[in-house]
Each structure stands twice: as C-alpha cells, then as structure tokens.
Structure 1
Amino acid sequence: MSFAQMWEQLAREDVRFVIIGGVAAVAQGSARDTNDLDICYDPAPDNVAKLVKMLNEWNARLRVRDGSGAGLPFIIDARTFRDSPVLTLETDLEWIDLMDQVAGIGDYRACLAASEEIEQGPVRVRVLTLSALIKSKRAAGRKRDQEHLIELEAISALKQMVEKESTKRHRRR
C-alpha cells in the first residue's frame, strides 16, 4: 500500500490532519525519498477516536529503528495519544509518524493555517506550504533537515523566479 492509500483512508474517515515532513516536501516538488507518512493531527477527542480506529485496523505497533521494539505490548487508544505527543508507528501498510505539534509551526490549528489543500487521487488533503516546511525544517535543526533545507530553499527560489517572470509577462499584455 502506498502513502496515498493511507491518506485516502484517513480522509474518507474524516480524520482531521495535515501532511508534514517528507511527503509534504514531495508534494511541494522535492525529489527526496521518504520512508514514512508524517502527519500533525487535531487532538480533539472525536478525531483521536477516528485515528485510534484506523490505526487499530492497520495493526499499528511501535516502530523502533533497531528492531528492539518488536513484540512489545502496545495499546493504541485515546490515552496513548494523550500521553504521547509523538507516535512513531509501523503498520501493515506503511510507517506513520503522528504529532500534535510541529517545530517552528505549532499545533494542529497552526499547521492548518500554514497548509494548502491539494487534490490527491479521489480525495483532497492538506499539506504544509513550502514556506512552512522550510520554517519547520529550520526549527527542527536535525542534520537531515538541514540537508533537506538546501533543496527546499532551491525549490522556493525557483518558484519565486517563475512567479516574477509570469508577472512580467502578464504586465506586458
């Protein structure tokens, strides 16, 4: 299953979320590969209940990079979300990271305000804007984020150049 199938299922269940991280970067033009779907979710109880349902259907379990978490008992419920602001999970579909805050942006409402809607197959989803992605990568400060910033800033510069040229052509008409 692809990331697209995951967010399509989330969207069909009316889960409120914003795609952040690598998948959002790809939606904004990045050529980098990503191995998980990162989302910032609305922590309202009704939304968490929908997430719990989906994650249990997907057989979600803790993801530990070195494999030491395999087989650890883990229960996905509202308490898990309340006690864990960041969940890094492996599912039968793909890996997914769920956050209630994004560095440099803020909570779900702030992410929502810093996002744009895109059409992905049969559904429309929210992804962080390019400028918000750049802001979040700067704030996170991890080495891999700093490396990714180079590409994202280049994409931003190219988009600005295209917009300027388009504006010039439009004025000439």
Structure 2
Amino acid sequence: MTDFEGLIRVLVEGQVEFILVGGAAATAHGSSRLTTDLDVVYGRSKQNLDRLASCLAPHHPYLRGAPEGLPFQFDARTLRSGLNFTLITDLGALDLLGEIPGGGRYEDLLPHTIELDLFGVSCRCVTLSRLIDVKRAAGRPKDFDALAELEAIREEQDSGGTQ
C-alpha cells in the first residue's frame, strides 16, 4: 500500500520541484476514485535531479515490475539518462514523470497548478481543468472512466458549489 503522505513529505522536505498529477491529483480535487500510486511531474534541472535522487535513495527506489535482482542504480545520473520512471519504494508506488501527454514538462505545467496543503505540507497540484485535459490526452480507458466524475466536479465548482 502506498504511503501518500510519506512520499509527499519526502519530496517536499527534500525541496524537490514537482507537480502532483494523476489519480492523487484527482483525489485532491475531490474525486472519490482510489489510486494505488503517486504520480508526479518533476523538474529536470541538475539541482532538482540531485535533490530527487538524494531524498528518495533512503527509501530504496526500484523499477516497479522489473525482475528481482535486475541491476538498477537510482541516482541523478540515472534520472538524467531517462525520463519517466515507475518505481516501487519502501513508501509505496511512485511514478516520476519527466513529461506527460497533454501537459508537457514541469515548466509547461507550472502555470497550470495550484498550491495545496496536503498532510500538513504545501505542494503544487495540477489544476482541475488541466488534469481533465491531461487525462483526455492520455487516452487510456481508466482515464476516460475518470473524466465524467472530474467534469462533474468542475461543473459544480463553476456553478459556485463547493468541492
């Protein structure tokens, strides 16, 4: 089971530049759907990759679904060499995304974020409207299934209702 609070705290306390996306972002906006992993778009500057590698290393990140014993070195060099990583850590499942369909890179998404207080820490989360765009662009059946609920939440917010 993924410790969402633990993962978010590790990233925030490590001063990692990241944006919450995916199912956890949907939940933060009021979705009732469950998610099993934390999806984040992360900044790819050298300093941010160093911070990301440093703060996650104590939690033993490993490629999710990879055969046990497959050599994998999680460090800033690995992050620089790749883009998107689906990981399992001591705190649970984490997807590190260098860019996402319909949203782009960290810098592209940044203007489409809001600051949220989650678990007593402040972090950036993609806006509901951009999350809808991203889910539509991803084109996966599970994303299409989530769209109706997310659009209903947006409609309620637009009509002056509460989340």
Aligned counterparts, 1:152-163, within 5 A: 152-162=150-160
Aligned pair 1:20/2:21, yes or no?
yes
Q: Distance in 2 between matches of 1:23 and 1:122?
A: 16
**Deviations 1:32-89, CA, capped at 9 Å, x for gaps:** 000000000010011101111122111010101xxx5222110112222122211000
Aligned pair 1:41/2:32, yes or no?
no
Q: Distance in 2 between matches of 1:69 and 1:142?
A: 25
Q: Which residue of 2 aligns with 1:130?
A: 128
What is the percentage of aligned positions where both structures have the same residue? 39
1:149 deviation in Å?
A: 0.8
Q: Distance in 2 between matches of 1:10 and 1:49?
A: 12
SS at match of 2:35: coil
Q: Which residue of 2 aligns with 1:60?
A: 61
Q: Does the 8 A contact of 1:26 with 1:32 survive in 2?
A: yes
Aligned counterparts, 1:4-153, within 5 A: 4-64=5-65, 69-153=67-151
Number of equivalences = 160
Root mean square deviation, CA, Å: 1.3
TM score, norm. by length of structure 2: 0.93
**Deviations 1:124-149, CA, capped at 9 Å, x for gaps:** 10001100100000111111111111
Q: Distance in 1 between matches of 2:39 and 2:68?
A: 21
The AA in structure 2 aligned to 1:79 is R
Ranges in structure 2 where 5+ consecutive residues have no aligned partner: none
The AA in structure 2 aligned to 1:27 is A
Ranges in structure 1 where 5+ consecutive residues have no aligned partner: 164-173
Q: Does the 8 A contact of 1:102 with 1:111 survive in 2?
A: no
Q: Distance in 2 between matches of 1:90 and 1:132?
A: 27
Please list every run of at least 4 consecutive aligned residues from structure 1 whose deviation after the TM superposition is greater than 3 angstroms: none
